[in-house]
Structure 1
Amino acid sequence: MFINVHTYYSLRYGTIKPKDLLELAEGFRIRCLALTDINNTSACLNFVRLAPTYNIRPILGVDFRNGAQQQFIMLAQNNQGFQHINSYLSSFLHTNKKIPEHAKHLPDTFTIYPFASFKEETLLENEYLGVTAEDLNRLKFSPWKHRQEKLVILHTVSFQNKKGFNTHRLLRAIDNNTLLSKLPTSEQGKETHLLCSEETIKDTFREFPKLIENTQKLLDCCNISFNFDKETPNNQQSYTSNEVLDFKLLKKLTYEGIPYRYGTPTNAILDRIKKELDIIKEKGFVSYFLINWKILKYARSKGYFYVGRGSGANSVIAYLLRITDVDPIELDLYFERFINLYRKNPPDFDIDFSWKDRDDITEFIFRRFKNTSLLTVYNTFKYKASVRELGKVFGLPKTEIDVLSKGEYNYKTLDRLSQLVVNYSQYIRGFPNYLGIHAGGILISEKPIHYYTATFMPPKGFPTTQFDMVVAEDIGLYKFDILSQRGLGKIKDAVEVIRYNHPSIPPIDIHNIKRFKEDNRIKYLLRNAKAIGCFYVESPAMRMLLKKLQVDDYLGLVAASSVIRPGVAKSGMMREYILRYRYPEKRKEAHPVMLDIMPETYGVMVYQEDVIKVAHYFGKLTLGEADMLRRGMSGKFRSRDEFLKVKQQFFDNCHNSGKSENLTKEIWRQIESFAGYAFAKGHSASYAVESYQSLFLKAYYPLEYMVATLNNGGGFYSSELYVHEARMHGAAILAPCVNHSNAETVIEGTAIYLGLGFLHSLESRVIKRLVQERTKNGYYLSLDDFIDRVPISIEQINILIKINAFRFTKRNKRELLWEAYMKVNKVTFEEHIQTLFKTEKMNYQTPSLPNTQMEDAFDEMELLGFPLCDPFKLLLAPSRSHMRARHLPDYVGKTVTIEGYLVTVKNTSTSTGKRMYFGTFLDRDGDFIDTVHFPNVASLYRFRGKGIYSITGKVIEEFDCISIEVTKMTRYPIIEDPRYSDKKLETNSVKNFNRRVRTSNRQQH
């Protein structure tokens, strides 16, 4: 009886969670339900998967609407009909066209029009009119009363109760960006759109038994099914259109890759190759490998840098196909993490590209492979955002909304409206708000993607599914991860910057990792944690870990890359690992079984595959159960019940093998605390390779590498720190210049000209014109020359003058500002108009308005976000402390006061949930100061934004790493902005200047 049912995937309309809908239907003993979300199929596959558990036969369709206005409902008779509906819906979602009043005829589908708004007199064989309870009186006097074979019951279900309806109204108000009190009834559903028993429906329509009969027949004609056993992946089955040829190609490519990777292979390598090929073939993963190979072959042909990681990095086949640069045999990577006979899903290949190259790779994939789409993510309502949205809907003033969103209130003292905002914000938290794009997931399926889902077209311009990666895996569609990161862009650009700044140097082979592993300069940078700007090893936490471990080799860095992850620290095993690394006698404290399983990491779980090893060897789980455990802890497993069953099996096996309950609990605690965060070893190794590449560039070409870092959006820190780092390596940092700077930062010898693109509010089209004109016709000779050649508004040229971009003129920038004001039109013209004679310039004697270095600093802060001078020079009062970071080792255990310029703050929580912080500062010499702010101090002495702080605290040392346990902290005031400190003087100068201009005009006239 239910042919029009919505979940909360009817975005900003429905309010029922899919699982709640099924539980509610089971309670009413409903045996058949048609899910027809509004212009959306996100819930469909999961609905089909779950429905049999509730003894419900699922039917799928779509409620086609323009806003809240229902046009028609389409139901799929079968899977082919569902595919047709998905294609039809996608045609509107891709083009943003309005949905018509009359539906296109689609095979294997039924179309139901709302009786109240249907204007035509005829219907096709597969078309019906849906009659609501409110339509019954009209029906009695309608011609359709005598054509009841075309009528069915239309009882819409959108909410589960009154609160659901109230929530619906709030969501509609949010969607319409209006006050709740002004929400039109046409934008709302009806309060009666609730699920009820079939008996209630039949009783309502008892005068029209034919409608009940028609509705039942319609539902009986629909049948939908999908296979969720995951035994056979539904990815593209064959790369060459022939699975036998696929395997021959994979085998050929594998053996052709041996000379490049290994030269003459050992028997162990050949045995490993054969073993992997056999399993890949048996599991049906051949095309998955070949598709990845093809994508990266294209990337190499374009000269794109990439890093292959994920569990696939444990595969020697992936190494030989150049999908990854990690040698699993050299690193003794755990084969069963990559693949085993119990594993149903293919191995993960996460391929990182430069952020500049990824879009082209994505375009290639869509061109080369037929059934391709991006994966969506469900962007849900977050609490703070919900408070703001609902606060506006209820008409609360901004100040009250700010208080509520920060959580700084006592609920009992709030007024009724504010309490409603809080209550409903909590209620809709987690509701899907809109569909976004997965960070890098791409599906390449055997069947058309519309067989499974409708697609929408986000701004990126690629069709995107309406279900997420979890649902995709449920149906056997495994994603290809094409990701972007700026680290690769930095490496690629640094090589290019070195080429133009040092043209005599031979080309750099950035892939010569073997050489980098033995390089003494790189070892020095690692040991001393001098890795600012370098991929994955520059953060304060990683900098301190490297110091504690004193790592200077590849394997040590691979381990450190996973040890730094939150889970290892949370389990307490990071400290244990450091102790066992530095003090060999501590390794004896490891449990013999654990030490035997993980000798390389001294019995400490460091890598993700350690979970599988411990579960398999210590907990006696099968490899399939062990991998299920790992996936469950990573948040990638669907069934909590099955996960708990595996957990119980772990404890039972440990008990049966004689292990003590305390030991079992401790090992389980370690597994549980970090399994969802730790890296696979191959993943860490891939990151370490990229770290070595960036470390090499930093060691030998620090200035060029910092330029590339700035041009790729920095890294862990803000651009200001990378400017500082370049200065520490001997660079002269210069403000943007119209004759030297491009949009990006450039280097000439040791002079670094910051990019014009760094200037806040400078338009990209102005930058483009400026650079193109300079490239075509040479340097600008004066301000007049620039104005003649570049169309620009007074607001835009002001930016350039204030940042001293015309300093080559040797004229004071305040004078240039006045001159520009008189000579530049207020309106920007697209092109200069050519005239027969050059217009004679009017020259004015500008007032004397000298500017100071301090004024320059404030202009730089306004336009760049930071001063180019030493920030300590901006203090209102002179320095009070001579303490420097280099002195701190001499004061361990003592209380000191030191001044530092704030770089970054990391906040975290204690085990009791209280907030604490870790700070990173620079002292006057440019060296780092690391601070710890425990909750009691953090609440008293808060960080108050950028600036210079006086830090008082106890100097502590742990594993040769120095930090300060803060007891007091204050931010120093800086000088008053000198640009506005003497208004009277400037006003008089302006008056005098204007008087001279008027006199000059009269004389020329």
Structure 2
Amino acid sequence: MLVQELKAKGYTSFVLTDINNTSAVFEVYREALKQGLKMNVGIEFRRNGQWQYTAVAKSATGFRIINEHLTAHQHCNSFPPLFHEEVLVIFPMNNLPERALTANEFISFPPEQVHRWPSLKHLHPYREHLLMGLPITFSAPKDRQLHRLLCAIDQNVLLSKLDKSRIATTSAFPIPKKDYIEYYASMPDVVQQSQELLSMCTLHFDLEKPRNKRFYTCSDKDDMALLRKLTYDGFAYRYSKNDRYARARVEKELRVIEQLKMGAYFLITWDMLRYAGNCGFYHVGRGSGANSIVAYCLKITDVDPVELNLYFERFINPYRSSPPDFDIDFSWDERDQILDYLFKRYGKDHVALMACYNTFKAKSLIRELGKVFGLPKGDIDCMIDEPNKPKKHHEMARKIYRYAHRLQGIPNHLSIHAGGVLISEAPITCCTPLLQMPKGFPIVHFDMHVAEDIGYYKFDVLSQRGLGHIKECVKLVQENLGVSIDVHDIQSFKKDERIKHNLKIGKTIGCFYIESPAMRQLLQKLSCDNYVSLVAASSIIRPGVAKSGMMKTYIERAHHPEKVQYLHPVFEEHLGETYGVMVYQEDVIKIAHHFAGISLDEADILRRAMSGKTRSKTAFQELQDQFFANCQARGHARALSEEVWRQMESFSGYSFCKAHSASFAVESYQSLFLKTYYPLEFMVAVINNFGGFYFAELYLHEARLAGANIHAPCINRSSWLTSIRQKDIYIGFVHIKSINQKLIQEIITEREQKGPFRSLADFTSRVAIGREQLELLIRIDAFRFTGHSPQQLQWKKGLCLRPNKPKVATGLLFASEMAQEQKYELPTLEQEGNEGFFEQLDLLGFPLSSPFDILRTSFRGDFPAIDLVKYQGQTVRMLGYYITRKPVRTVKGEIMNFGSFIDAWGYFFDSCHFPPSLQHSPFQGRGCYLIKGKVVVEFGFPTVEVEKMVKLPQKADPRY
């Protein structure tokens, strides 16, 4: 819009100078090329909002120098002078250096100052350094108010308190070029010098130039020789030597990789994973990269593309305009070490993380604008919570809504992309400054879309908790049971009958991607007991498929495949696995190729175009014309062709990458294997990785059902994280609210070095602890080994801790000198009733005993939830402990909920709360609920459609 405005006003060139930033450079540059304008680039360096100077690049070298300067000094209190022959430095009139200006330093002389020139005596010696200055901040006068509002938000002040020196003048918008030059009619030398300098700036970006690291070895030839060797080394592990089909596919992929000069990309990924393997790290290679048999042979992924008939063209093909990328997941606590390796292996000047733009969202904008206009919090909350009740709003509300609508979606600040890493051939500062982030890894100033446009393809180095619990479980099994596990033996997991059974009945709590209530429902409705079915389930659970109604269609067809009527024999041949439903993105490619005869390469382009991932409408129209022309040549009726096209176009918008689903399914099988055969260790690992779908309480419940003995934290047995010894699970101190981690580490170190604690007095003599922290440990009954109740220990602590004595442990060397407990007779202090239950609830957030035991009623429901399916169509009463709920909107826009509960026997059951029911029987937080409703069974899975629900009262807390 800005470029078009400049062109309309007669300009042929301009300089883009964002404030301490270059995020917009390449997008604006591309638009300038399109409009036929010459664009130069600079940076307006500001300190605390005050303009220091502007640096303009005369060339690509100058741009790199400017980027390096900003990178080096962005966290300093000021920007030091910048001297370089390829950089022009322009100072504002009110911030001139106290020295003579160099040949490359100039002064911005705005048009409104021309008439004052005779009186500006201090500038007369600098006449030859004056430049025309027309800073443009907004596109039209009406937008200045938006600029002021953004400045006020940035400064966190009322609009009336805005520092005027930090905002643009009223004239900071484009005016016609002839009017601009007319302002300087009395100073033609300034005009001439400005135009000459602008013509000297010859910065040019080659937007088609590949920018990633060119070679892994020394040349393309050597890269391909190494890649071929490593691929065939892996081929011997993955396939039979006589597998001609797999070998032919390897050769086909290697040819395309060589043609597109992507050998280095595969080898760098292989190198990263080789390092991870040497460190004992687990990884999952997912995304479209799992479509590659070369990636499978290099062990980048564990998905066999031959087994699943995955098309390499979905990952790489010569017609694809955007670069591909590998998505590599590591455990959440190992990713930073991988990133550190990449920075050190390929050089800090050549590696950076991808940025993303955090944009202004509607609700946050209303809150920020409300503060800027000085509205009370209550009025702002009302505008956000009740937008459709204008009578309750402040009189400024309409104006705030209007400004919020105009500002919504514009960039707010730079943030870190979820996992994108760039590894460049030239220093990254040739294209962008770098912004240092809290963990020490720098990010570029542009996002993934710009990176693709200018020739970068990223490496997605991601993290997740699922891999963490797999790795920790393997470790715990080795330590607790002395058993070694190969979690990569996926083929045997797929054939295991116990794993198949647990998958089929949805016994998947804690397992990656398949533990949510919706996923467990789907598994049971599908009677899913095999890998191929799980891959499909991982895809159709996606919101788009479910919302479109195709998930239900798929389940119906899975139960009655004999009733499926295929649109054409091609659908039966190539979509028979999914009963004619286009579940995956690859399915669109299959149909375009096999039904219409479009090449696989072009079919992927068509698939991307249909899903809105291409900017070229012309290319899309050409492919559409080719599709129908091919169909006609093949003798397909026009009506049939149009229906096939309609289905392809509608499915492509929400379909999921099959390789992605397959990668998820591999990890799900690994988790399910561990849960099936080592449930106690598995649940401890899930708890300690803090990334499951549910609270730790539910995972402890699962462990208890599997035979574990659950213990509260214990001074002599517990660690910071939850630990296991045979069948005894000790909850980690980390779960105690407000506990000090450093103190716990000191306790554990003291225990390991000098043995277990013998009494409270022994503990306080060896550990420096304050009263509040000691009370927390006593309340959670961490000193139960002493044989005294928490109430007795609360009384005794006064004798062990002296209020005026420094908190310093004595650490006596010999046991005989150890502080001896004084002999005295304790009063009778016993724990009342359910006091321990409420202490655990306060300190851990959940009880260790059954929540049903604390209810005032003895009623436990009409029957166990496992028998629900027998009561189809009947109204029942269920008693359930609330686990989770999912809010969704109906077609009318009303809120309804799906809930999950556990009954008194430990079985799960699910509930459905339609808007009327939810309105008069809302959820009221965690606790036990009495539910009355009708049992509805769909594909063998029962749900209670709630008519009425009440939260049941608990027994009184005896502590109060």
User: Considering the TM-score relative to the shorter chain, is it more than 0.5?
Assistant: yes
In the other structure, the counterpart of 1:983 is: none
Q: Secondary structure at the match of 2:462?
A: strand
8 Å CA contact retained: 2:422, 2:458: yes
Q: Secondary structure at the match of 1:158?
A: coil
Alignment counterpart, residue 55 of structure 1, candidates 22, 33, 36:
36
Q: CA deviation at 1:631?
A: 3.1
Identify if the C-alpha distance between structure 1 residues 38 and 830 changes in structure 2 by more than 3 Å, giving closer, same or farther: farther
In the other structure, the counterpart of 1:166 is: 145
In the other structure, the counterpart of 1:43 is: 24
Q: CA deviation at 1:664?
A: 5.6
Amino acid paired to 1:81: G
Alignment counterpart, residue 759 of structure 1, candidates 730, 736, 744:
736
In the other structure, the counterpart of 2:98 is: 120
1:19-168 equivalences under 5 Å are 20-93=1-74, 96-100=75-79, 103-136=81-114, 139-140=117-118, 141-168=120-147
Q: Which moved more, 1:160-169 or 1:631-640?
A: 631-640
Amino acid paired to 1:288: Y
Q: CA deviation at 1:746?
A: 0.4
Amino acid paired to 2:886: K
Amino acid paired to 1:105: F
Instruction: Provide the C-alpha distance between the structure 1 equivalents of 2:855 and 2:649, rounded to a whole number of angstroms.
Output: 49
In the other structure, the counterpart of 1:340 is: 317
Amino acid paired to 1:970: V
Q: Which moved more, 1:152-161 or 1:833-842?
A: 833-842
- Name the Cα RMSD after superposition: 2.6
Q: Secondary structure at the match of 1:683?
A: helix
Q: Are 2:730 and 1:730 equivalent residues in the alignment?
A: no
Q: Secondary structure at the match of 1:37?
A: strand
In the other structure, the counterpart of 2:455 is: 476
Instruction: Provide the C-alpha distance between the structure 1 equivalents of 2:755 and 2:617, rounded to a whole number of angstroms.
Output: 68
Instruction: Provide the C-alpha distance between the structure 1 equivalents of 2:929 and 2:628, rounded to a whole number of angstroms.
Output: 52
TM-score by length of 2: 0.94
Alignment counterpart, residue 858 of structure 1, candidates 838, 844, 853:
838
Q: CA deviation at 1:654?
A: 5.9
In the other structure, the counterpart of 1:425 is: 404
Instruction: Provide the C-alpha distance between the structure 2 equivalents of 1:905 and 1:422, rounded to a whole number of angstroms.
Output: 32
Q: Which moved more, 1:142-151 or 1:820-829?
A: 820-829
Q: CA deviation at 1:488?
A: 0.8
Alignment counterpart, residue 811 of structure 1, candidates 781, 785, 788:
788
Instruction: Provide the C-alpha distance between the structure 2 equivalents of 1:847 and 1:434, rounded to a whole number of angstroms.
Output: 63
Instruction: Provide the C-alpha distance between the structure 2 equivalents of 1:949 and 1:526, rounded to a whole number of angstroms.
Output: 29
Identify if the C-alpha distance between structure 1 residues 555 and 145 changes in structure 2 by more than 3 Å, giving closer, same or farther: same
Instruction: Provide the C-alpha distance between the structure 1 equivalents of 2:820 and 2:524, rounded to a whole number of angstroms.
Output: 67
Q: Secondary structure at the match of 2:492?
A: helix
Residues 922-960 of structure 1: CA distance to partner in whole angstroms, max 9, x if unpaired? 111111111222333334432222122222222111111
Residues 24-83 of structure 1: CA distance to partner in whole angstroms, max 9, x if unpaired? 323323322211110011111111112122332211111000121000001111222111
8 Å CA contact retained: 1:570, 1:674: no
Q: CA deviation at 1:179?
A: 2.5
Instruction: Provide the C-alpha distance between the structure 1 equivalents of 2:581 and 2:940, rounded to a whole number of angstroms.
Output: 22
Instruction: Provide the C-alpha distance between the structure 2 equivalents of 1:246 and 1:737, rounded to a whole number of angstroms.
Output: 57
8 Å CA contact retained: 2:7, 2:37: yes
Identify if the C-alpha distance between structure 1 residues 959 and 103 changes in structure 2 by more than 3 Å, giving closer, same or farther: same
Alignment counterpart, residue 942 of structure 1, candidates 922, 940, 946:
922
Q: Are 2:903 and 1:923 equivalent residues in the alignment?
A: yes
Q: Are 2:936 and 1:959 equivalent residues in the alignment?
A: no
Instruction: Provide the C-alpha distance between the structure 2 equivalents of 1:205 and 1:828, rounded to a whole number of angstroms.
Output: 80
1:158-557 equivalences under 5 Å are 158-229=137-208, 233-370=210-347, 371-411=350-390, 413-503=392-482, 505=483, 507-557=484-534
Q: CA deviation at 1:565?
A: 1.7
In the other structure, the counterpart of 2:677 is: 700
8 Å CA contact retained: 2:320, 2:605: no
Residues 853-887 of structure 1: CA distance to partner in whole angstroms, max 9, x if unpaired? 52222221221111112112233444373233122
Q: CA deviation at 1:715?
A: 1.0
Amino acid paired to 2:671: S
Q: Which moved more, 1:575-584 or 1:780-789?
A: 575-584
Instruction: Provide the C-alpha distance between the structure 2 equivalents of 1:666 and 1:459, rounded to a whole number of angstroms.
Output: 53
Alignment counterpart, residue 790 of structure 1, candidates 767, 772, 775:
767
Q: Secondary structure at the match of 1:353?
A: strand
Identify if the C-alpha distance between structure 1 residues 30 and 700 changes in structure 2 by more than 3 Å, giving closer, same or farther: same
8 Å CA contact retained: 1:285, 1:346: no
Q: CA deviation at 1:830?
A: 8.2
Residues 169-214 of structure 1: CA distance to partner in whole angstroms, max 9, x if unpaired? 2222222222323222233332332222223322333322222222
Instruction: Provide the C-alpha distance between the structure 1 equivalents of 2:612 and 2:132, rounded to a whole number of angstroms.
Output: 42
In the other structure, the counterpart of 1:8 is: none
Alignment counterpart, residue 977 of structure 1, candidates 935, 957, 960:
957
For structure 2, which runs of at least 5 residues remain unmatched after alignment? none
Alignment counterpart, residue 933 of structure 1, candidates 888, 900, 913:
913
8 Å CA contact retained: 2:566, 2:580: no
Q: Secondary structure at the match of 1:156?
A: coil
Amino acid paired to 2:773: Q
Q: Secondary structure at the match of 1:559?
A: helix
Instruction: Provide the C-alpha distance between the structure 2 equivalents of 1:497 and 1:129, rounded to a whole number of angstroms.
Output: 68
Residues 877-902 of structure 1: CA distance to partner in whole angstroms, max 9, x if unpaired? 44373233122112111222212111
Instruction: Provide the C-alpha distance between the structure 2 equivalents of 1:271 and 1:334, rounded to a whole number of angstroms.
Output: 14
Instruction: Provide the C-alpha distance between the structure 2 equivalents of 1:922 and 1:618, rounded to a whole number of angstroms.
Output: 49
In the other structure, the counterpart of 1:11 is: none
Q: Which moved more, 1:438-447 or 1:27-36?
A: 27-36
Q: Which moved more, 1:558-567 or 1:286-295?
A: 558-567
Instruction: Give the share of equivalent positions with the same residue, in percent.
Output: 45
Q: CA deviation at 1:285?
A: 0.7
8 Å CA contact retained: 2:761, 2:819: no
Instruction: Provide the C-alpha distance between the structure 2 equivalents of 1:23 and 1:412, rounded to a whole number of angstroms.
Output: 42
Q: CA deviation at 1:470?
A: 0.5
Q: CA deviation at 1:415?
A: 2.4
8 Å CA contact retained: 2:324, 2:457: no
8 Å CA contact retained: 1:793, 1:828: no
Instruction: Provide the C-alpha distance between the structure 1 equivalents of 2:54 and 2:276, rounded to a whole number of angstroms.
Output: 45
For structure 1, which runs of at least 5 residues remain unmatched after alignment? 1-19, 981-1005
8 Å CA contact retained: 2:766, 2:810: no
In the other structure, the counterpart of 2:882 is: 902
Instruction: Provide the C-alpha distance between the structure 2 equivalents of 1:242 and 1:703, rounded to a whole number of angstroms.
Output: 52
Residues 956-987 of structure 1: CA distance to partner in whole angstroms, max 9, x if unpaired? 1111111122222222233343322xxxxxxx
Q: Secondary structure at the match of 1:333?
A: coil
Amino acid paired to 1:772: T
Q: Secondary structure at the match of 2:682?
A: helix
Instruction: Provide the C-alpha distance between the structure 2 equivalents of 1:856 and 1:531, rounded to a whole number of angstroms.
Output: 31
Instruction: Provide the C-alpha distance between the structure 1 equivalents of 2:879 and 2:899, rounded to a whole number of angstroms.
Output: 13
Q: CA deviation at 1:909?
A: 2.4
Identify if the C-alpha distance between structure 1 residues 199 and 978 changes in structure 2 by more than 3 Å, giving closer, same or farther: farther
Q: CA deviation at 1:495?
A: 0.8
Instruction: Provide the C-alpha distance between the structure 1 equivalents of 2:48 and 2:406, rounded to a whole number of angstroms.
Output: 23
Identify if the C-alpha distance between structure 1 residues 825 and 682 changes in structure 2 by more than 3 Å, giving closer, same or farther: farther
Q: Secondary structure at the match of 2:873?
A: coil
8 Å CA contact retained: 2:900, 2:908: yes
Q: CA deviation at 1:128?
A: 0.6
Residues 320-358 of structure 1: CA distance to partner in whole angstroms, max 9, x if unpaired? 111111221222222322333323555431111111111
Q: CA deviation at 1:480?
A: 0.2
Instruction: Provide the C-alpha distance between the structure 2 equivalents of 1:584 and 1:422, rounded to a whole number of angstroms.
Output: 53
Size of the aligned set, in residue pairs, is 954
Identify if the C-alpha distance between structure 1 residues 268 and 834 changes in structure 2 by more than 3 Å, giving closer, same or farther: closer
Instruction: Provide the C-alpha distance between the structure 2 equivalents of 1:475 and 1:766, rounded to a whole number of angstroms.
Output: 52
Amino acid paired to 2:885: V
Amino acid paired to 1:390: L
